[in-house]
C-alpha cells in the first residue's frame, strides 16, 4: 500500500488506532521470549508525595456563628478569576516492548497534533527524548509532511551527539541506546533512518532491543492493513 499524502487527509485517528494494534499483532509472534509487546501510554513520571500525615485541620462551620457573617463570607470571595493552561497528558497509544517488567523499547506513531503548535512540539519532544534518557530504545514513525519546517529528528539531534542531518518528515527513525563508551559517561546512541515517500511502499526498519538484538519491523503490511480497516481503501 503506497503511503498516502497526509497533508490534508482525514481520519488519521482511525488509522493510528488500527496501525498500533496491527503492528502489535505483527510483532508479537516475532519477539523472542521473554520479550512482550503491549499497547499503552508511556509511563508517567511519578511526583514524590510527602511521607507521613498531611498537616491539615478539619472543622465544623456553625451556620449561626460569626463565621457565617457577611464579613466572614466576604473573606472567601476571590480577588481575581482566571484560567489555568494545562499540559494535557498524551492521548496517543504507543507500542511498548518489555522484558521481565522492564521497558525495553517503544514504537511511537506521530500524530499531527503532536507538532501543530509550539507547545505540542515541546511536550512531545520531551516525551521522545525521555525514552532515550531512560535507556529505552525508540522507533519514531512520522508519516505527516507538515509542518515542513519542523522535525522531531532535529529536536533529538540537538539533544544528542549525533552528527548527521536528520530526515525531514515523512520518515521513520530508530534509536538504540547502548552502554557508556570507554572513558565516556554518556551512553552510546545508534541511529537508523528511513525516508518515506508519498506514493511509495513503506520500508522496513530495525527496532533495537539489546546491544546485539533487533527486530526488523516491516511497516508496509501493517500500514496497508490499518488503512484498509479504517476504510480509507
Q: What is the pLDDT of residues 17-33, one digit of tens each?
A: 999 999 999 999 999 99
Q: Which domain holds residue 154?
A: 12-40+91-169+178-229
Which cell numbers hold the place of 166? 536528520
> If we measure between CA atoms, which residue out of 41, 39, 46 comes closest to residue 24?
39
* Prediction pTM value: 0.78
Assigned domain for 76 exists: no
Q: What are phi and psi of 85, to 5 degrees?
A: -80, 120
Position 188 scores a pLDDT of 83
pLDDT at 56 over 80: no
Q: How many domains does the chain have?
A: 1
Assigned domain for 18 exists: yes
Distances 8 to 2, 11, 18, 232 between C-alpha atoms, Å:
16, 10, 19, 14
Which cell numbers hold the place of 138? 525508540
pLDDT at 207 over 60: yes
According to DSSP, the residues that pair with 204 across neighbouring strands are 218
Assigned domain for 86 exists: no
Amino acid at each position: 500500500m503506497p503511503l498516502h499524502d497526509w497533508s490534508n487527509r482525514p481520519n488519521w485517528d482511525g488509522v493510528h488506532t488500527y496501525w498500533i494494534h496491527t503492528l502489535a499483532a505483527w510483532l508479537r509472534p516475532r519477539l523472542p521470549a521473554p520479550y512482550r509487546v503491549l499497547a499503552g501510554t508511556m509511563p508517567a513520571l511519578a511526583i514524590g508525595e510527602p511521607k507521613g500525615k498531611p498537616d491539615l485541620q478539619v472543622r465544623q462551620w456553625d451556620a449561626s456563628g460569626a463565621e457565617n457573617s457577611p464579613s466572614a463570607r466576604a473573606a472567601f470571595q476571590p480577588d481575581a478569576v482566571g484560567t489555568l493552561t494545562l499540559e494535557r497528558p498524551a492521548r496517543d497509544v504507543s507500542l511498548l516492548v518489555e522484558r521481565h517488567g522492564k521497558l525495553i523499547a517503544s514504537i511511537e506513531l506521530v500524530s499531527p497534533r503532536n507538532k501543530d503548535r509550539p507547545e505540542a512540539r515541546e511536550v512531545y519532544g520531551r516525551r521522545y527524548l525521555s525514552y532515550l534518557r531512560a535507556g529505552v530504545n525508540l522507533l519514531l514513525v512520522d508519516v505527516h509532511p507538515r509542518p515542513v519546517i519542523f522535525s522531531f529528528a532535529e529536536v533529538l539531534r540537538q539533544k544528542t551527539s549525533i552528527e548527521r542531518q536528520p530526515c525531514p518528515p515523512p520518515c521513520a527513525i530508530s534509536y538504540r541506546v547502548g552502554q557508556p563508551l570507554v572513558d565516556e559517561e554518556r551512553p552510546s546512541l545508534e541511529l537508523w533512518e528511513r525516508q518515506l515517500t508519498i506514493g511509495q511502499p513503506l520500508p522496513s526498519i530495525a527496532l533495537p532491543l539489546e546491544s546485539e538484538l533487533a527486530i526488523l519491523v516491516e511497516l508496509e503490511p501493517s500500514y496497508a492493513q490499518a488503512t484498509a480497516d479504517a476504510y480509507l481503501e
